[in-house]
């Protein structure tokens, strides 16, 4: 059994987009920091294209192998669907009911699920692309927040006065222009705006909502852009030379901040805040 710290001892956390990239790193880190249960929520159980044997194991199975069977569960869910999903894929309302029945209490939601429909200047952005991008990154995250908050409000505050903490993964694109990413940036800006508004609405009830704006993070979402040496010739080199930290971000760079924001002991007075994590890219 792997060693864990007690920073998040006893909490139940939900992570959307947990099968890949940032969500996977966050889910693994929450378990390492002592979460009693990490509920992994994703539209698919594993990575689309695993690059190693370790990658081939679904996130909840990695957590179970390190911390025991009770430490994780997987719920297949399309976060852009509110009620019953299709086939094995549930809607958000069903997932929340299942989790509440399973655990009785939910302390943390980390909203990482997302899609990146990049490479479309606005005049080439179909309504379908715009809608799809909004459905997942704006509407899906809203639905997860809506149903989590309804559950948080039923719960007694913990010893730090917290009924629940939400960490939303937006993007630097919510604040800065990214080439060919109009729909993506709009969806991420919507997530930022709804998070701030909800933080104001629920602060007095002990519910905290914060937003992380990652820069360029090396994950399966970004990899095809880096690998496409024709359309994006020199892009990786450009990033490495213009990010003051001198490298792309890694999923663990985001996971540490998400754990801190999840912890009611460490960040009890932090709500409605925005954290840019981009190796200094937007500070230049």
Ligand X SMILES: NC(=O)c1ccc[n+]([C@@H]2O[C@H](COP(=O)([O-])OP(=O)(O)OC[C@H]3O[C@@H](n4cnc5c(N)ncnc54)[C@H](O)[C@@H]3O)[C@@H](O)[C@H]2O)c1
The residue ranges that bind ligand X (CB under 6 A) are 16-17, 19-23, 42-44, 77-80, 112-116, 136, 140, 169, 171, 214, 216-217, 219-222
Q: What is the DSSP code (8-state) at residue 157? A: P
Of 4 and 250, CB closest to ligand X = 250
- Asked if 283 contacts 244 with a C-beta cutoff of 8 angstroms, the reply is yes
Cα–Cα distances in angstroms (integers) from residue 132 to residues 64, 129, 184, in the given order: 33, 5, 10
Of 89 and 155, CB closest to ligand X = 89
Residue 176 falls in the annotated catalytic set: no
Burial letters 166-202, b for 16+ CB under 10 A, else e: bbbbbbbbbeeebebbbbbbbbbbbbbebbbebbeeb
Name the minimum Å distance from CB 261 to ligand X.
Answer: 15
- Asked if 218 contacts 283 with a C-beta cutoff of 8 angstroms, the reply is no
Rounded Cα distance between 20 and 41, Å, is 11
Of 188 and 208, CB closest to ligand X = 188
Name the minimum Å distance from CB 230 to ligand X.
Answer: 20
Alpha helices, DSSP H only, in the chain? 21-32, 53-56, 59-67, 92-103, 127-134, 141-154, 182-202, 223-227, 235-242, 251-262
Among candidate residues 184, 202, 216, 238, the one labeled active-site is 184
Of 173 and 206, CB closest to ligand X = 173
Name the minimum Å distance from CB 210 to ligand X.
Answer: 15
Nearest residue to 35 via CA among 77, 80, 2: 2
Rounded Cα distance between 265 and 207, Å, is 13
Of 19 and 271, CB closest to ligand X = 19
- Asked if 116 contacts 182 with a C-beta cutoff of 8 angstroms, the reply is no
Nearest residue to 207 via CA among 138, 261, 143, 141: 261
Name the minimum Å distance from CB 283 to ligand X.
Answer: 16
Residue pointed to by tokens 């149903």 = 147
Name the minimum Å distance from CB 127 to ligand X.
Answer: 18
Of 169 and 206, CB closest to ligand X = 169
- Asked if 14 contacts 148 with a C-beta cutoff of 8 angstroms, the reply is yes
Name the minimum Å distance from CB 52 to ligand X.
Answer: 15
Which positions are catalytic? 184
């Amino acid at each position: 059994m792997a060693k864990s710290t007690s920073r998040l001892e006893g909490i139940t956390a939900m992570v959307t987009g947990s099968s890949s990239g940032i969500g996977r790193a966050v889910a693994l880190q929450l378990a390492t920091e002592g979460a009693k249960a990490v509920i992994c929520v994703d539209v698919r159980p594993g990575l689309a294209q695993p690059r190693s044997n370790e990658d081939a194991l679904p996130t909840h199975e990695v957590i179970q192998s390190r911390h025991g069977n009770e430490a994780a569960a997987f719920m297949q869910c399309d976060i852009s669907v509110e009620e019953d999903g299709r086939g094995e894929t549930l809607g958000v309302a069903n997932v929340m009911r299942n989790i509440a029945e399973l655990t009785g209490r939910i302390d943390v939601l980390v909203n990482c699920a997302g899609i990146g429909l990049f490479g479309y200047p606005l005049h080439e952005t179909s309504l379908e692309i715009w809608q799809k991008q909004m459905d997942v990154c704006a509407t899906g995250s809203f639905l997860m927040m809506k149903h989590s908050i309804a559950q948080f409000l039923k719960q007694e505050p913990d010893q730090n006065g917290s009924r629940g903490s939400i960490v939303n993964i937006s993007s630097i694109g919510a604040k800065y222009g990214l080439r060919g990413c109009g729909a993506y940036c709009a969806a991420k800006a919507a997530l930022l705006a709804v998070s701030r508004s909800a933080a104001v609405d629920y602060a007095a009830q002990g519910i905290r909502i914060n937003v992380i704006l990652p820069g360029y993070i090396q994950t399966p979402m970004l990899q095809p852009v880096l690998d496409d040496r024709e359309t994006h010739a020199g892009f990786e080199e450009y990033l490495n030379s213009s990010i003051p930290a001198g490298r792309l971000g890694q999923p663990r760079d985001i996971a540490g901040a998400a754990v801190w924001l999840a912890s009611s002991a460490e960040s009890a007075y932090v709500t409605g805040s925005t954290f840019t994590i981009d190796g200094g890219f937007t500070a230049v």
